Structures are given as structure tokens and as C-alpha cells.
Amino acid sequence: MFSCDNDNLENSQIQLREDVIVENAVFRISYNEIKEQPNWIEYTVRDFVKVADRGNMDFYRVQGIWTSDDNDYYKNEWDKGHLAPAATFSDSEENLNKTFSFINCAMQIDNLNRGEWAQLEQQVRDWSVNGNISVKIDLVFAANHEIRNSGVHIPTGFWKNLTFSNGDQTCYYFPNSSTNKNWDKYQANCN
């Protein structure tokens, strides 16, 4: 892995990679430095006792990976949408902190992030009392997806695949746009 400090380098000065794999105690992720967004993420939701609070934590950059940053989210409708949710990993301060890296967030329309997406995250936590749930989220970029002046690419949608401890699967597809129906109406065929 190369070493870079995003504050002192332009992305044209480094060789950007399409698939940087990062694994920690919370998630496994494929990050796309060209798009400044994840390709996909995998994590496991389990029943736990909350011991940490997000307080005023903010997103941070990971050394050696070219990512989006605060400027991409400034004064627009895009939230720093957690992919591995902070609330799902509030079982320790260390795990909670891992969810606040820019490699774990996506340009997600504010209404979706704070609405149906968050509601499904809570539902998955509720379901986890019956056993661990494996989650995989794939970001979708249509051929004509938006690229902002800052260089960050805007996902056109998100596939969320849930695999329950008994092997059953449930999938959801959320367009990256304002939502107008309940989270369960976004359920889709897993194929």
C-alpha cells in the first residue's frame, strides 16, 4: 500500500485504484479511489449491549486511501451515509470509531439515509436477537451517474442483501433518491 496524505496531494498525483480491500473488526470493504466511494461492504449484525455513544464523532480519512471528504458533502442534499451503521457497532468505543471512516460512508440522499435506510438498519438489529445476520451492500453506478465537480461519484442505488443464521436471504434495492414508501416496499428478488 502506498502512503498518501489527502490534504497535501491532488488525486492526479497518485495512481488511483478501483478495488482497495480493507478489513477490520467491524467490516470488510472494497473501496474505489477513482469514484471516491465503496464498491461493496460486508459486515455481521449481532445482538449486543450498547456501551458507546457516538456523541460528536465525525468522519475521518484513512491513511493511504484516496476517499471522499467533508468538501464533497458541504451544503448539498447528500449525507455521509454509514454503510456499516454506527448504532450496530456501539458495543465498544473502538468498534463505533471504525464506522466513522470515510471508507465506510457513501454519498446518500439525506431523505433516504435518515428515513427508510435507517429504519431497515434498526429492523435488522431487531431481527438479530434471533441470530447473527450477514449483510452485504453493493453500490450501483449507472452509466450516466452524476460526478460532482469535486470528483466524487454519486451512486444511483444500493443493493442490501441479508443472510440470516438459518440460511434464508432477503434483499432490498434502494434508488439513491428521496423515498416515498416504507422500507419493506423496497424488497427485491435476490437474483
Predicted TM-score (pTM) of the model is: 0.91
pLDDT given for residue 53 in this prediction: 82
**DSSP for residue 152:** P
Residue 13: its pLDDT value, please?
A: 64
Bridge partners, residue 40, by sequence: 30, 138
Check residue 56 and give its pLDDT: 81
State whether residue 170 is helix, strand or coil: strand
Which residues is 134 bridged to in the sheet? 44, 163
* CB atoms inside a 10 Å sphere around CB 90: 18
- Model confidence pLDDT, tens digit, residues 6-20: 444 555 567 999 999
Instruction: Work out the percent of the chain whose per-residue pLDDT is above 70.
Output: 93
pLDDT at site 142: 98
- Length of the chain equals 191
Confidence band, pLDDT 50/70/90 cuts, at residue 50: confident
Distance CA 22, CA 64 (A): 11
Give tens-digit pLDDT for 64-109.
999 999 999 998 999 999 999 999 999 999 999 999 999 999 999 9
Query: Could you tell me if 115 and 79 are in contact, meaning their C-beta atoms sit under 8 angstroms apart?
Result: no
Dist. CA 176–CA 151, nearest whole Å: 18
State residue 169's pLDDT score: 97
In angstroms, the CA 152 to CA 30 distance is 16
Residue 12 has a pLDDT of 53
